[in-house]
Homo-oligomer: A and B are copies of this chain.
Amino acid sequence: MPADYKELKEQTLLANLEIQQRNLAIYTWGNVSGFDKARGVFAIKPSGVPYDQLAVDDIVVVDLDGRKVEGELNPSSDTPTHLEIYRAFPETGGITHTHSPHATAWAQALRSIPILGTTQADHLAGPIICTRVLNRKEVDSGYEKNTGLLIIETFRNPESGMEIAGVGPFPEEPLIFAENPMVLLGGHGPFAWGDSPAKSVYNAAVLEECAKMAWMVMSINPGFSSLPDYIVNKHYERKHGDGAYYGQTKA
């Protein structure tokens, strides 16, 4: 019943195209997947196909054992990373990986991004964590799978994450995955997620914008300080809390 996956594949296609429209990657340097929890499958970009040649039937559907269930092409080489994340956090509806330049620069600098303003606090209530670099063993065998596992491990044990620039070590308390929808993979680049493929691209764009601003803050005022907790929480809650009053849906 191939038609079953049509909507999932269409959503995933549109989200992949948005990578290019929002300048989050050049060439094929990014991919989006979309997860259907009920059926335990996710749709993902095929490997190495330019965005402007991408059609809905090029999108590949894969199950949580990594078996292709629909599609002719090879799925993204990052498929095992997406897979591990959906396994560990099945409420996730979409994942985006890009090489957007400012976020990637932070990942390459091996620094977590401090929370410096309300732009970031509107989307997560703290710094944006950068993972450690994968070790040799993790790279030599099951590299992309281990990339997913490292992201999961880092959310469970954030003290393994890289130093927050200008602030210090990352706090120990576990990070809630759905509430911190973005990460920097140390030495590599950004991943972001959300409850749909489109929302995961949105969060990838948020990350790029926060990374750009934080980079500039560091040169304008090297003695910058983090936004006080009471403002961080206020901004996060007014968009995401029980009493959220931003937007139209909770009017």
Chain A residues close to B by CB (< 8 Å): 22, 26-27, 29, 46-49, 73-74, 77, 99, 101-102, 104-111, 116-119, 133-134, 136, 139-140, 143, 165, 187-189, 202, 205, 209, 212-221, 224-225, 227-228, 230-231, 234, 238, 245-249, 251
Contact = CB atoms under 8 A, between A and B. Distances in A.
A230 to B, nearest CB: 5
B219 A215 contact: yes
B104 A245 contact: no
11 contacts: A46-B248, A47-B247, A48-B248, A77-B245, A106-B220, A108-B116, A109-B220, A117-B188, A117-B189, A133-B231, A136-B228
A236 to B, nearest CB: 12
Lowest 7 CB-CB distances: which A-B pairs, in order? A48-B247, A105-B216, A109-B221, A108-B117, A109-B220, A108-B116, A136-B230
| Max chain B Cβ within 10 angstroms of own Cβ: one of A119, A165, A214, A225 | A119
A60 to B, nearest CB: 11
A117 to B, nearest CB: 4
Contacts of A110: 221, 224-225
Given A108-B224, A213-B105, A218-B220, A118 B187 contact: yes
Contacts of A225: 110
A184 to B, nearest CB: 11
A106 to B, nearest CB: 6
Contacts of A228: 133, 136, 187
Contacts of A251: 73-74
A220 B209 CA distance: 15
B101 A216 contact: yes
A248 to B, nearest CB: 6
B27 A74 contact: no
